[in-house]
Amino acid sequence: MSNPSADAAATPATAAPPSMTTHKAGRTLATSLAILLALGAALPFFAPEHIVTAGIVVLLNCYLAQCWNLAAGYAGQFSLGHSVFIGIGGYTSTILFTKFGLSPWLGCILGGILAAGVGTLLAMIVFRYRIKGVFFAVVTLSAAEVVRGLFENWDFVGSTAGVVMVLSNDPGNMMFNSRTPYFLIALAMVGLLAYGTFAMERTRFGQYLIALREDEDAAEASGVPTYKCKVAVIALSAFCTAFGGTFYAQFLLFIVPETMFSFEHVLTMMLGAMIGGAGTVIGPIVGSVIFGVLAEALRSLPFENSREIASGARIVYALVLMVIVIKLPGGIVSLFARRQRSGQ
Amino acid sequence: MISSETLFQALTSGLLMGSAYALIAIGFTVVFGVMRIVNFGHGHLVMAAMFASYALHRYVGLDPYVSAVLVFPAFIGLGALLHRVVIVPIMDASHAAHMLTTLGLLLVIENAMNLIFGGDLRSVNTSLSGQSLILGGVALPWTRLVAAAVSLIAIGGIWVGLKYTRFGTEIRAAADNRIGAMLVGVPIQRVFLRAFALATATAAVAGTILVPFYLVNPFVGHDFMLKAFVIAIIGGLGSLPGALAAGLLVGLIEAAGSVFLTASLGNALVFGLLMIMLLVRPSGLFGRVQS
C-alpha cells in the first residue's frame, strides 16, 4: 500500500500531519489528556454549582465538536446538518423512555444506531450522486430542515410542544438531582471520544480519510475506497453525535424540535472544531473550552443581561473564526504543533 | 374543504412573496456566479437592512419607502467595505474557507443586531399598512404588491444592466472565464468589488420592501439565507431568469403547503424539492453544466 499520509504531510495548512504524531508524541498526548481528565473530574467536588453547570455545557460542546470533527475535520465532509443526529438521539431515547419505560442508558444506543442509519442513507444518496463541497453542505442543511419540519408535525413525538420528562433522582434512567454526575458523564464522553479519535487516526481507515480530504481524486487513484470511507465516517459521526443528543435531552429533561434540531448546534460544533484545529484530536476540545471560558469571563463584565453576554461572546468568537480561517487555517493547536516540530 | 377563494388568495400571496425571495436570491447568485463565493451572510444582510429601516422609522420617523434613499447607498458602502475586509482575503482560498468566513459574517451580523435590538419580533407601520386592493374577492395588501412590483423592477433592471452596460458585460465576462476576462483587460478586482456591492445593495432593497409587512428579529436572516440558497440552486447558480422562476415556485409551494398542510411542512417540502433537484439536475432549472 502506498502511504496516503504523504499528501497530508505535504500540506502545512491542515493541522497535525500524522508524521508528527509519532509514538512518543502520541504517548505524551495521551498522558497529558489523562491528567487533564483527572483534574477535570475533581472540579465538581469543589467548584460552585453555576461553574459546574457551565462546565457541563462546555463539555457537551466539546463532545459535539469532536463528533463533527470526525466528518469535517478528518474526512473534509463539511456537514451543516449534524443537528439531525442530535435530534434523533435525543428524541429516540426520550420517546422510548416516556412511552415504553426503556432506560435512556439503553435508548441512547438505539438512538445512535438510528442516527447512523439515517446518516448512512443520506450519505449513500449524496455520495452516489457525487455531491461534494458546498453542495454537500447545502444538502445536509436542507435535510436538517426537512427532518425538523417532520418532527414539528408528528403528534406521536409531541409536535411543536415537545416532550417533558419529570425529574426524579433516578440514576438507572440517567437522571440526577445533583449536577456532578452529569458533569462526570460528559467528561467521560469527551475523554472516550478523544481516545477513539486518537486511535482512529492510527488505523488504515483514519489514514484513508485524511488522504481523501487532502485530494479525493489522488486518493481514489491510489486505491482508497473513497465512497465507502465517506459513508462510513458520516455514519460513525452520526452515531457519536446521537449520544450527545441523548445527554442533552437528559440534561434539559425537555425536548422540542426547535432546540433539538437547532442550527445553533451546528455553528457551535463548527466554531469549536475550527478555532481549536479541525482534523486533530485535541483541537475541538481546545476550541470549545476557550469559547466556554470566554463566555464565563464575559459574564463577569457589567452587562445587563445574559442576551448581551451571549451575543458579545459570539461576535468575538465569529471574528476570531474569520481571522483564524484567513490567517491560521490549522487552528490554535497548529501554533503549538509547529513550535513542537521545529523544536525536534 | 378549502374554498377556491382561500386557495387563490394563498397562491397570489405566494407569488408576491416569491418575487421578493427571487430578489434576495439574485444578490446571492450574482456573488456566486461572478466570484465563486457562497455568501452565507446574504440573508442576514437583508435582515440588517430591515433593522436599518426599522431604526430610521422608530427613532427618526421616516417611512421605510422614504428611508430607502438612505439605506440603499449605505449598503453599497457596506458591501464595498465587506468586500475589502472579508472577501478579498479569501478570494483564492478553498470553498470550506469561503463557507466558514461567511458563516462568521452571519454570526457577527446576527449577534450585533441581537445586541442592539434584542430578540423580540418588531414591525413597522407605513402609509400603506392595512390597506388592500380588492380584486375579484381576493384582498391584496398594498405593502405586498409594492414589494413584488419593486422586486420585479429591480430584477428587470439588473437583467438589463448585465446585458447592455459595459459594467454588465465585464461582470458576465468575469463570471464566464475569470482568466480570459483578465487577459482581455477586464479590471477583475474592480468588477468583484462592484458585484459584491451590487449584491449587498439588492439585499438593502429587499429588506426595505419586506419590513412593512414582515416581522423582523435577528433570526429571520437564517430563513432568508436558506431561501436564497434553495432558489439559487433550483434556478441554477448564477442564472437570473432561473432565480426568478425558482423564487416564484418556492413562494407558491410555501403558500400551498401552508394551506393544505402546515407552514413547517410547506417549508420541509421546499427543502425536499431542493434535495431532489440537486440529485437529478444539479445545474438547476436554467443553469448550464459547469466544469
ipTM of the complex: 0.84
CA distance B230 to B277: 10
Query: Which chain A residues are Cβ-neighbours of B230 within 8 angstroms?
Result: 142
The shortest C-alpha distance from B171 to chain A (Å) reads 23
Residues 6+ apart with CB under 8 A from B288: B236
For each of chain A's 344 residues, which pLDDT tens digit applies? 344 444 443 344 444 444 444 556 667 777 777 888 888 888 888 888 888 888 999 999 999 999 999 999 999 999 999 999 999 999 999 999 999 989 999 999 999 999 999 999 999 988 888 877 888 888 898 889 889 888 988 888 888 888 888 878 888 888 888 889 999 999 999 999 999 999 999 999 999 999 999 988 999 999 999 999 999 999 999 999 999 999 999 999 889 998 899 888 998 899 899 989 989 998 999 999 988 887 777 766 665 666 777 788 788 888 988 998 888 888 888 887 655 544 43
Contact (Cβ atoms closer than 8 angstroms) between residue B110 and residue B91: no
Residues 6+ apart with CB under 8 A from B235: B25, B29, B241, B242, B243, B244, B245, B246, B247, B284, B285, B286, B287
Quick one: closest CA in A to B104, which residue?
A318
The whole model's pTM is what?
0.85
Cβ proximity of A89 and A115 under 8 Å: yes
d(CA A289, CA A312): 17
- As beta bridge partners, residue B141 has B132
Q: Do B265 and A153 touch (CB under 8 A)?
A: yes
Q: What is the Cβ-side half-sphere exposure of residue B269, based on CA atoms within 13 angstroms?
A: 19
Q: How many CA atoms lie within 13 A of A72 on its CB side?
A: 32
Q: Compare CB distances from A153 to B115, B230, B262 and report the shortest one's residue.
A: B262
A227/B contact by beta carbon, under 8 A: no
Residue B66: Cβ within 10 Å count: 16
SS3 string of A131-167? CCCHHHHHHHHHHHHHHHHHHHCCHHHCHHHCEECCC
B24 contacts B203 by C-beta, under 8 angstroms: yes
Residue B219, helix vs strand vs coil: coil
CB of A263 within 8 Å of a chain B CB? The answer is yes
